[in-house]
Chain A
Amino acid sequence: MGQKVELACIIDDDKIYVNLVKKIIEIKKLSNNLLIFKNGMEALDHFKLILENATEDRLPDIIFLDINMPVMDGWEFLNEFIKIKNNFEKKITLYVVSSSIDPRDLERAKSINLVTDYLIKPIELKKFEKIFDRNGNAAA
């Protein structure tokens, strides 16, 4: 195992999924801390607040972003996030995570530079470990 991720962030409205991922992260000790938002708007508000306060200690190393969410979906969040992302010094890895197997979603995600990869739910435990591990190594 590589270095642990300090802060991971999940933006997803599926409570059960969030609970399970939380469990995995706890059990496997993949990240020290976890931020959870149930839609894009809540997450965006958080990032804007960080920008205003100019403290990056609550900025995640890795984001798992769902596509289909109420209020503000994943695409809309990406549109807004791109605008403010460059104001942060920290390198943030962003994964789009969705149960959609629509190739149009996959294409769209891959066309956005900000998105490291498109992960189709369910994500296997091993894959989770790998993602966090690689992230840890890359950050080190």
Chain B
Amino acid sequence: MLNDLQLNSILEDFDIAYWKINLLNKEVSWSEHFDTLVGNPIFSESHFEYFLKEILHQDYRYDFRLYFDKLTEENEAFSIELKLKLNNGKYRWFECRNLKNKENNKETAVLLFVNIHQNKRDQYTIEENFFYYHETAQMTNTGGWYIDTQNKNIYWDNVTKKIIGCPLDYQPPYNEHLRFYAPEEHQEVTSAFDKCEKYGIPFKVELKMRNLYNKDFWVRATGKPVYNEDQDIIGIRGVFQDINDQKINELNLQNSLDLVATQNSRLFNFAHIVSHHLRSHSSNLCLIVELLKDAKTDKDKIELIPNVADISENLDLAINELNEIVNKQTVLGKERRIVSFEKALSGVMASTSSLINRENAKIVAEFHALKEISYIPEYLESILLNLITNAIKYKHPGRKPVIYIQTYLKNETPFLEVSDNGLGIDLDQYGDKMFGMYKTFHENLDSRGIGLFITKNQVETLGGTISVTSTVDVGTTFKIKF
């Protein structure tokens, strides 16, 4: 058996102090180690009272006295965690319990004080960390996951399950996990997971996932390899953060930004074109004024008058054209409606019947693949009108104009094509200018160079694009993607 000295030294090593309680007179004596822990007090009263008043944290005084009385009077065992003030003035956690009384000793009891401060602190830290993790995960919609690549299992935490929209007892299928990603992401996802599993390359990507109800949403995903003791990769662990709202906002913002940028540059060009177009007339006026001032005879002056008349007429025409452009570009008060292509075309053909008849133009329409579209009716008519008159205006001199109009759906996107058998145009030379304002390519008296400019603007205002293919002497095709 160990003697008291040896026992004391062992207890001390484990940072365990104790009290010896005389059960007969309830007197308490402290072990040496207890003395060193709490300092060497000078007693004016009993150890017990001093302990309660000076050493034990006040929160535990009531309980401790209760337990102590029960121990000393009824020999009832107890165990309590409490805080003691040490000789450095700081409180530390201790576990206090009585030593089991094997021999039914009625004379003395022993109370052990075990330092559990580190444990307690670790426990608090864990609780604290868990709290922060939990709150952060909830607030940021971030879920954790683990893929056990050895045993082929996938584990999702509750937030991940919430993001995916599955019940808490759902077991994700290992072999079909790609099902939880949008099809267009499969390649990237497979590659990221493969690289992580095989070579330990971590990943951090933004991708589209697909929830249990086949709705796609954006997440930010990170994954890192998990190694065993032999440094073999045994799994991948990471988080999914649901960033759908932010991503949608970001994408919308980018779209708006692009739209504003294109509209801005269009306005900028428009302003310069307008200034140029109007300036050419005003500068002619200035020139005439100078000539008038300079003219020596009345005859010279009178000769200049017809020029003034021409200029004012041109100026008037130019202003009307600009007005027309501005009017046709205003979307204000115009709304998308379901428009039938057939109806829009017959309206256009009625208003251009004289031109069509004069040129003996043949118009063939195929609308059966796509009969109608949600569009601003005035725009659709204006687009058809411009493309048809354009085709007739630039007809081939050797043949009657034939215009073929077709609508169709491709990848769910509506298209309109207008083809003619006219002059055609060298796109290498003029391609980038086709849709510019006041750009005319043929010496044609009634070309004004604003039709295609307006058409392009109308198509783009409603989010579409227009493109052109052409062969000189064969014909031209305009293709509108709505």
Chain A: residues with CB nearer than 8 A to chain B?
Answer: 14-17, 19-21, 23-24, 27, 39, 68, 70-71, 76, 98-102, 121-125
Contacts and interface: CB of A to CB of B under 8 A. Distances in A.
A21 B307 CA distance: 12
B272 A20 contact: no
B286 A122 contact: yes
29 contacts: A16-B307, A16-B310, A16-B314, A17-B284, A19-B307, A20-B284, A20-B307, A23-B304, A27-B291, A68-B276, A68-B438, A70-B439, A70-B447, A70-B449, A98-B276, A99-B283, A100-B272, A100-B275, A100-B276, A101-B275, A101-B279, A102-B275, A121-B280, A121-B287, A122-B283, A122-B287, A123-B287, A125-B290, A125-B291
B56 interface: no
A16 B291 CA distance: 13
Given A39-B443, A121-B287, 15 more contacts: A16-B307, A17-B280, A17-B287, A20-B291, A21-B287, A68-B438, A70-B441, A70-B442, A70-B447, A71-B441, A71-B442, A76-B429, A101-B275, A123-B287, A124-B290
Contacts of A102: 272, 275-276
Contacts of A125: 290-291, 294
Residue of A15, A16, A24 with most chain B CB atoms under a 10 A cut-off: A16
Contacts of B291: 20, 23-24, 27, 125
A70 to B, nearest CB: 4
Given A68-B276, A101-B276, A14 B443 contact: no
A24 to B, nearest CB: 7
B465 interface: no
Top 4 closest pairs, chain A to chain B, by CB? A122-B283, A121-B283, A70-B440, A99-B280
B192 interface: no
Given A19-B307, A101-B275, A124-B290, A70 B284 contact: no
Contacts of A68: 276, 438
A121 B290 CA distance: 13
Contacts of A23: 291, 304
Contact of B279 (A70, A121, A123): A121
A102 B276 CA distance: 8
Nearest to B429: A76
B446 to A, nearest CB: 12
Contacts of A20: 284, 287-288, 291, 307
B76 to A, nearest CB: 97
Interface in B430-457: 438-443, 447, 449
A119 to B, nearest CB: 11
A68 B275 CA distance: 13
Interface in B400-447: 429, 438-443, 447
A20 B447 CA distance: 24
Interface in B295-333: 300, 304, 307, 310-311, 314
Residue of B284, B287, B307, B449 with most chain A CB atoms under a 10 A cut-off: B287
Contacts of B311: 16
Interface in B326-383: none
A101 B283 CA distance: 12
A16 B280 CA distance: 10
A1 to B, nearest CB: 15
Contacts of B279: 99-101, 121
B149 to A, nearest CB: 60
A14 B280 contact: yes
Interface in B231-287: 272, 275-276, 279-280, 282-284, 286-287
A99 B439 CA distance: 16
A28 to B, nearest CB: 9
Contacts of B314: 16
A124 B429 CA distance: 35
A79 to B, nearest CB: 10
Contacts of B288: 20
Contact of A99 (B276, B307, B441, B443): B276
A68 B273 CA distance: 10
Residue of A15, A21, A24, A99 with most chain B CB atoms under a 10 A cut-off: A99
A54 to B, nearest CB: 28
A124 B279 CA distance: 15
Nearest to A20: B287
A68 B215 CA distance: 54
B440 A71 contact: yes
A9 B441 CA distance: 22
B268 to A, nearest CB: 10
